[in-house]
Chain A
Amino acid sequence: MKVSKYEFNSQEQAEEKIAALPHLTYEDGNEYATHSHTIVKIGYIVIEQGEYDDEGEETKPPVLADKYSVDVLWNEAEITTVDEEAILDEDGMVVTPEVTSVDHPYGWKTKALDLEDEGVHKFFGVTYQDNKM
């Protein structure tokens, strides 16, 4: 598993990238995701807390970031590409092992963040720092 954090210019831009991930169009005409990545729409992160009265009612709304945040727990197998095939000898033994690489899907890399902490969200039992791409 790989964990990545992204910032998009808008929710619409994020939704566009998410919709471009593998999916199928079923017989009912709707489209369904066929990937097994876990995508969490964090949304516009609060950068300045709102204010609330004694009963907890909001008296001043929070200030939100202008970027739309998304965290993804990528299924590594589904974002791995084979760069060089393995070379086998006559007996089928590996002479040169396969070369693979793991990367963000198309259009995601430029939106990726490189944080030095865990940010505002984590996946249960999986740290960003130990698993980031």
Chain B
Amino acid sequence: MAIPKLALIPAAQGDKFYSLLPSDGLGDFTFTRGSSATRINAQGLIETVSDTSSRLNYDLLNGKVDSCPHYILEPSSTNLITYSEDFSNSIWIKSNASITANQIVSPDGGLNADLLTSSSGSSLHSVNNNTSQTVTVGDNITLSVFAKKGTYSIIQLTSSTFYSIYANFDLENGVVGSYSSTNASIENLGNDWYRCSFTDTVIGTANSRIQINIVENLQSIRNSNFDAVGNETVYLWGAMVENKTFKTSYIPTTTTIITRAAETATDSGDSELFNDSQGVLYIESKSFDNTIALNRKIVLGDGTLSNGVEFSYQTTTNKIQFIIRAGGSISLGIETTAFDVTEFTKIAIQYKLNEGKVFVNGNQIGATYTNIVSPTINRLDLKFGSGFNFEGKVKEIRVYNEALTDVELASLTTI
């Protein structure tokens, strides 16, 4: 098979998204983010990177670090509670429970995870963050907390001001119990740590409060009493409330709420590097959510809205769109909802005079288009024009300057 002219394989972080090919740096993407952010490093630990650094992020699969990292491009988000790691602070109201600070190593590798211990008797046993940051009724909201079993393993995540929404989590077996919210998830971070989260819509009086309860079982209803012996314990770290339909990377807070800025990667290559008469754009990526608020695009084009070989996650659930556009006219337009966009997919868009086609995960999607007009191509952007910035995780991008055979396209995109 041909050698790609551009190959982005995440291997280093810094002020660029670094491309392996070409080796002279022409294929590197300009990276921007106006603030610090956190990532999961190769040891599986959460660490902070500065505002000048892109993020080489590692997923954890069943508690083990995926050896193949990805670049991550997240939207702006704000952790709407203060003292996100210090449950002993008075902002956290303890109800029939106590907190002992800094008992074990947390997911950031520091000795700073706190121990929640129930008192004895039949009552609600909880810690409740009392940050009075207003949120808008009707907005989507995602609550999350890192938790680890102690002598006990069933917790409930809820909010005292979003009435009725809650989710139960089993820290022994890593499963979600009953929940009233739109969705709930538990992510295994290894060493018995889990990130528990759920998403719902803000109702009722709207403050950014998050509450963690020790409850009897996975079917416990919200804020139910639990007849505790008094020695039931779980470990907690890193709570977060954000105005999002999905959880984003952890944002630590102390005295104030804190915002992580959005990030972009743009302007790789030039007209000499790319061939605008034929080629293949190959991408392995995934979206943060099945349904997103705005289309998110990767475009091999000229930086305008008029020319490009375009790949995008669309606002319709699980919709992926492929477009070849030249001089403002679309000569290939294919959409599919057949894939879960929150899983990594491999896609290839082939463009060539009078022949355009798309492969996803080893199979051709849609028809072969025979009226393709080649677009002007002099740059590769993880955005479309001045907006529609790509948001997601990117494991690989390649650009070939020649058409490939169907067998090669199928092989290239096979998971």
Contacts and interface: CB of A to CB of B under 8 A. Distances in A.
Contacts of B135: 43
B35 A56 contact: no
A32 B388 contact: yes
B95 A55 contact: yes
Interface stretch (B15-23, B253-261, B281-289, B367-375): B253-261
Given A62-B207, A118-B256, A36 B264 contact: yes
A65 to B, nearest CB: 10
Interface in A11-64: 22, 24, 26, 32-34, 36, 38, 40, 42-46, 49-50, 52, 54-58, 61-62, 64
Contacts of B312: none
A55 B264 CA distance: 43
A54 B37 contact: no
Contacts of B205: 50, 58, 61
A24 B386 contact: yes
B166 to A, nearest CB: 12
B133 interface: yes
Chain B interface SS verdict (over half): loop
Contacts of B124: 54-55
Given A122-B256, A123-B258, A32 B294 contact: yes
A104 B211 CA distance: 39
A125 B207 contact: no
A71 to B, nearest CB: 7
Contact of A38 (B34, B37, B96, B133): B34
B134 A52 contact: no
Contacts of B255: 118
A34 B258 CA distance: 23
Nearest to B255: A118
> Interface centre among A49, A57, A73, A124, by most B CB within 10 Å?
A124
Interface of B: 32, 34-37, 48, 50-51, 76, 78, 93, 95-96, 124, 126, 128, 130, 132-136, 160-161, 205, 207, 209, 211, 223, 251, 255-262, 264, 294, 305, 385-388
Given A123-B261, A125-B35, 20 more contacts: A22-B386, A24-B387, A32-B387, A32-B388, A38-B259, A43-B135, A43-B136, A44-B134, A45-B134, A49-B132, A52-B160, A56-B209, A56-B211, A62-B207, A73-B35, A73-B261, A119-B256, A121-B258, A123-B34, A125-B36
